[in-house]
Chains A and B, each alone.
Chain A
Amino acid sequence: MGYFSDTNQSLALEIIGRYPRPKSAVIPLLHLAQEQEGWVTREAMLQIADLTGVTPAEVLGTGSFYEMFKFHPVGRYMVNVCTNISCQLLGGEELLDHVESTLGAGAGDTTEDGMFTVEDVECVAACTEGPCFTVNYRYFHRATPGVFDEVVADLREGRSPIQRGAAGDSGDMPEHGRLGRVRQEIPAGRRAGVVPPEQAGEQPVWLSSTAEVDTSG
């Protein structure tokens, strides 16, 4: 029995078809698995191994390099507080203390209600805007304990805190694992399918600019 939901299973097969070799789809499929459940489960890795023709050890070996793939359950919202030098000088550690005491979860832990996971992270490349934290990788610049409390209150009450953040727009705060608001779609007519480079003959469909392409999906 497959791990992926029906929708994700067909998406997974579509993703595999984007690459000359199935193995290349391991990382995109790890993203898909994390999107489905919020973290990458053992069953997900077994399924990915099966779909891409590699061993489960290779899937874990590839995925575990990346900090943002989680191989243990995490909260719906991942709160990352930066304590590297720039943020630290501007109050990052105090912010982390506040986050930990407010949520009742230390760095690396998840709140009992499963809402938040707190992490003390390395530089998130916003040194001019310190101290900063991210929630599900959405930035909150020049953060104060007050801003953090408002963000938590928003999330607990079902509102989006995005407008308080760096992007400043009014979108939703996605749950942990979701990659973006727009999913990449490759029209059927532009999918080359799995063809190993050494067996590729003619120009692939996505390169032939003059080809008549059915972009209807």
Chain B
Amino acid sequence: MSDGAPVEITVNGSTVAARPGELLIDACERTGTYIPRFCHHPRMEPVGMCRMCLVEVDTGRGPALQPSCMLTCSPGMQVDTESERTRSAQDGVLELLLVNHPLDCPVCDKGGECPLQDQTMTFGPGESRYVEEKRHFVKPIPVNTNVLLDRERCVLCDRCTRFADQVAGDRLIHFLERGSRTQVNTFPGEPFSSYFSGNTVQICPVGALTAVPFRFKARPWDLEEVESTSVLDSVGSRISVQSSRGRVLRFMGLDSDAVNWGWLSDRERFVFEAYDHPDRLTGPLLSGGAAGGQDPKGSTQVSATWADALGATAEALSGTDPDRIAVLGGSRLTNESQYAWAKLAKGILGTDNVDAQLGDGLPVEVLLGLPRATIDEACTPGGTIVLLGPDPKEELGSLYLRLRHAVVHDGATLIELTPHATGLTGIATHSIRVLPGEAAGVVRSMFQGGTGDVAAAGAVISSGGPVTVLWGRTSLAETDGLVVDAAMALLEHVPDVGFLSLLRRGNVHGALDMGMSPGFLPGRTTLEASGDKFENVWSCLPGETGLGCVAALEAAAAGDIDVLVLLGADILADLPDHDLARRALEQAGTVVAVDLFVTSTVECADIVLAAAAPTEVDGSFTNLEGRISVVARGSSPPGTSRPDWMIAVELAERLGTDLGFTSLDGIWSELASVSAVHADLSLNLIRASGTEGLLAKGQMPLAMPPVTEVPDATESTLRLVVTRSMFDNGVLNAHSNALAGLAPGAGIRVEPSDLDRLGLEDGSTVEISGPRGEHIAEVVASTQVMAGTAHVLFNQDGLDAGRLIDASMPVIDVRLVKAR
């Protein structure tokens, strides 16, 4: 859009260079002349609804009032934004808007940050000539459980409805009763059930749309604001954390050009409520056994001092061999905390049984060895996006909005290779259903021997434009090797292909960069390739590659792990294989949980260390592109809970050594000395990088991974597909009032023809038998799933998908029979 020579226009007597195709309102704002507006939003198509941006424009036919949001700059345009006629037009528009808009600013949540209020003060007439009664509506009405609508405040700017249509694609709010009674509303009984509804509150230029979690909580002028990053998923959306009197009261999306464009999913936006929940851990807990009593393991946990809890942890850690210690989880942590824990585990304790991924991730050597794409590269206008992973709409909401924009508005071509329909299926050029285990074969047939859609998709990919593969685990019920094989086949056939990982969990990419996986060290390097960089800084290095999450838990279940440290890892809920998690927790020696809440997993721990939440710590975050941005504290940790890196520092001290740093800057200077990826970075540079953050670059040499063998599918069984949805029973979801009720629950979904073949009916109760025994559930007919598969949502009420999964099998085949 910005290609070509600049367009010279005159604004209030000064010459201004506009970009080719730029709207007048944007060109003026960029060059320092603000034109008031309500409907115009830079991330959406202009509509010219509100007329607030009328300015006097002369394009050679004499000056005339024109809406600057609908006018593309043309050479020689003479613009006057301060003329008498412009002023009078602004007065008139505001007077008309205020005919019906109530002057309830003192009790309105928007008061103090309201564009209508501000612009009336700046540009408006100050007095109204109207004495007539204003419009009245029942107020407020919920458009969904989190967003309230006060219709009499609405100025019909079309921002929320355009967002629903153009950005989210959920056209569930609309102008109704157009004419003198126009209002925004939903269809009766059909709420605005969009994953992105909170954005409409953020862009509403008046107080018509308000969010339940913030309504009447604080006045805008009482809010303190820090720029931070959402650590809820791996997109790392930039946010503004806003708090008052020490409590975080809301998150707002920041417009980061490279990442989230100001948008947030409702999960990212409303999760802050969980951090403020009264169930938060306020200090350490010790179970009876760990406190020195005679009680058996898993008995009641009681409050303890940090001295006792850290002492007990250090005692457990120092009393065993390094290879009998495992440290799992860590995606919640900031980069700095991850480095501290990685150093504690590998550089002091000497164990390599460290894994931030919980059996649902990707092999690190492949992830770090593939050419990595950025979100912008994936969304290149006219490029091709290949989805070989989970549904971005369900798992990485703000990435989904970027992808949707690229396809719908920027002419990108989307090809999806998934076992079920996704949120992107409706806009995909080729939507190819792939049975778990057959992805690599389908990819190869795209380039050779395929027919129909498969061949057509291959032709698009081979046509020469930029290609980005979004790759991740399409199903939690299949092994990671399968998607790796498919990714390798794409790498082989597509020159210059880029890969963007869809690993979803928080700062998991930071954890991988910090070496929180077996065989790895900070800086995207392996134990073998580390050279001597670590020798002077770390007191030891693990002798050989340790166990990954699943292997470590299997070892624990076999009684071979004496200390199991869980860094925010709720393995009973989050590990795909629930049976393994349960056995590991039962058989592990001492279980140490560093967490925010007493989750079902933490209940099984002997020692519980209370950590600070992401809104309570300073530091940095690494997103799925490798982009590092700032995390900043908006409130204090409850009780004596503290940042994870401090816990690591204190544990090191109890172990009689020293981690070598006592501040974030100390961590960074050490990190920069050992990690080539972070060598030129510091926390100050990241802070100074603004909304866009800094991209950490560095690719490892790629070794060809082994090929995974898959058994053939059989007629009598269905292949299990397990995926996550935006809202589930995860601990943060469950502790946020706004999100708690939104989890959809799980049944087992089967394609209608399979139901017929198996003699089952929609809604009937079935017995599911697979490697983990028999389970009863309701079967639902769905055309969204692929024939030959059975689809279950993970971590929901109803059928527990984690009890169907055996992590040791490449794919899971289940048999469905009618329950007696």
A-side residues, CB < 8 A to B, are: 42, 45, 54-61, 64-65
Instruction: Return B413 CB to nearest CB of chain A, in Å.
Output: 15
Q: Do residues A60 and B187 form an inter-chain contact, with CB atoms below 8 A? A: yes
Which residues, 151 to 184 on B, are CB-close (under 8 Å) to A? Answer: 171-179
Which residues, 737 to 763 on B, are CB-close (under 8 Å) to A? Answer: none
Nearest to B173 among chain A residues (CB) is A57
Q: Residues of A contacting B185 with CB < 8 Å? A: 57
A interface, over-half SS: helix
A105 to B176, CA, bound (A): 27
Task: Tell whether B190 is near chain A: CB-to-CB under 8 Å.
Answer: yes
Task: Tell whether B66 is near chain A: CB-to-CB under 8 Å.
Answer: no
- The 10 residue pairs across chains A and B that have the minimum distance between CB atoms: A61-B174, A56-B187, A65-B178, A57-B174, A57-B187, A64-B177, A55-B171, A64-B176, A61-B176, A60-B187
Task: Tell whether B188 is near chain A: CB-to-CB under 8 Å.
Answer: yes
A58 to B161, CA, bound (A): 11
Q: Do residues B171 and A60 form an inter-chain contact, with CB atoms below 8 A? A: no
Q: Residues of B contacting A45 with CB < 8 Å? A: 187
Task: Tell whether B186 is near chain A: CB-to-CB under 8 Å.
Answer: yes
Q: Do residues B190 and A57 form an inter-chain contact, with CB atoms below 8 A? A: yes
Q: Do residues B174 and A60 form an inter-chain contact, with CB atoms below 8 A? A: yes
Instruction: Return A180 CB to nearest CB of chain B, in Å.
Output: 25
Instruction: Return A8 CB to nearest CB of chain B, in Å.
Output: 22
Contact of B171 among A42, A54, A65 (CB under 8 A): A54
Instruction: Return B553 CB to nearest CB of chain A, in Å.
Output: 45
Instruction: Return A117 CB to nearest CB of chain B, in Å.
Output: 18
Q: Residues of A contacting B171 with CB < 8 Å? A: 54-55, 57-58
Instruction: Return B144 CB to nearest CB of chain A, in Å.
Output: 12
Q: Residues of B contacting A61 with CB < 8 Å? A: 174-176, 178
Which residues, 183 to 242 on B, are CB-close (under 8 Å) to A? Answer: 185-190
A57 to B183, CA, bound (A): 12
Instruction: Return A185 CB to nearest CB of chain B, in Å.
Output: 32
Nearest to A61 among chain B residues (CB) is B174
A56 to B189, CA, bound (A): 10
Nearest to B175 among chain A residues (CB) is A61
A55 to B186, CA, bound (A): 10
Instruction: Return A79 CB to nearest CB of chain B, in Å.
Output: 22
Contact of A55 among B172, B177, B178, B179 (CB under 8 A): B172
A97 to B187, CA, bound (A): 36
A54 to B177, CA, bound (A): 18
7 A-B pairs within 8 Å (CB atoms) are namely A42-B188, A45-B187, A57-B171, A57-B173, A57-B186, A64-B177, A65-B177
Q: Do residues A55 and B187 form an inter-chain contact, with CB atoms below 8 A? A: yes
Nearest to A55 among chain B residues (CB) is B171
Q: Do residues B172 and A60 form an inter-chain contact, with CB atoms below 8 A? A: no
Q: Residues of B contacting A57 with CB < 8 Å? A: 171-174, 176, 185-187, 190
Instruction: Return B179 CB to nearest CB of chain A, in Å.
Output: 6
A64 to B185, CA, bound (A): 12
A48 to B629, CA, bound (A): 48
A54 to B165, CA, bound (A): 11
Nearest to A42 among chain B residues (CB) is B188
Q: Residues of B contacting A65 with CB < 8 Å? A: 177-179
Most B-side CB within 10 Å, residue of A42, A56, A59: A56
A61 to B186, CA, bound (A): 9
Q: Do residues B178 and A56 form an inter-chain contact, with CB atoms below 8 A? A: no
Most B-side CB within 10 Å, residue of A42, A54, A55, A57: A57
Other 5 A-B pairs with CB < 8 A, given A57-B190, A60-B176, A64-B178? A42-B189, A55-B172, A57-B173, A57-B174, A65-B177
A208 to B174, CA, bound (A): 39
A138 to B159, CA, bound (A): 41
Q: Residues of A contacting B186 with CB < 8 Å? A: 57
Instruction: Return A41 CB to nearest CB of chain B, in Å.
Output: 11
A58 to B190, CA, bound (A): 12
Q: Residues of A contacting B175 with CB < 8 Å? A: 61
A55 to B188, CA, bound (A): 12
Q: Residues of A contacting B187 with CB < 8 Å? A: 45, 55-57, 59-60
A23 to B305, CA, bound (A): 66
A55 to B179, CA, bound (A): 21
Instruction: Return B293 CB to nearest CB of chain A, in Å.
Output: 61
A73 to B105, CA, bound (A): 39
Nearest to B179 among chain A residues (CB) is A65
Instruction: Return B14 CB to nearest CB of chain A, in Å.
Output: 43
Nearest to B170 among chain A residues (CB) is A55
Q: Residues of B contacting A60 with CB < 8 Å? A: 174, 176, 187-188
A59 to B173, CA, bound (A): 11
Nearest to A67 among chain B residues (CB) is B179
Most A-side CB within 10 Å, residue of B173, B179, B187, B190: B187
Q: Residues of B contacting A64 with CB < 8 Å? A: 176-178
A58 to B170, CA, bound (A): 11
Q: Residues of A contacting B189 with CB < 8 Å? A: 42
Q: Residues of A contacting B190 with CB < 8 Å? A: 55-57
A42 to B187, CA, bound (A): 9
Q: Residues of B contacting A55 with CB < 8 Å? A: 171-172, 174, 187, 190
A54 to B186, CA, bound (A): 13
Instruction: Return A130 CB to nearest CB of chain B, in Å.
Output: 24
Q: Residues of A contacting B179 with CB < 8 Å? A: 65
Q: Residues of B contacting A58 with CB < 8 Å? A: 171, 174
A26 to B185, CA, bound (A): 19
Q: Residues of B contacting A54 with CB < 8 Å? A: 171
Instruction: Return B159 CB to nearest CB of chain A, in Å.
Output: 16
Instruction: Return B411 CB to nearest CB of chain A, in Å.
Output: 13
A45 to B189, CA, bound (A): 12
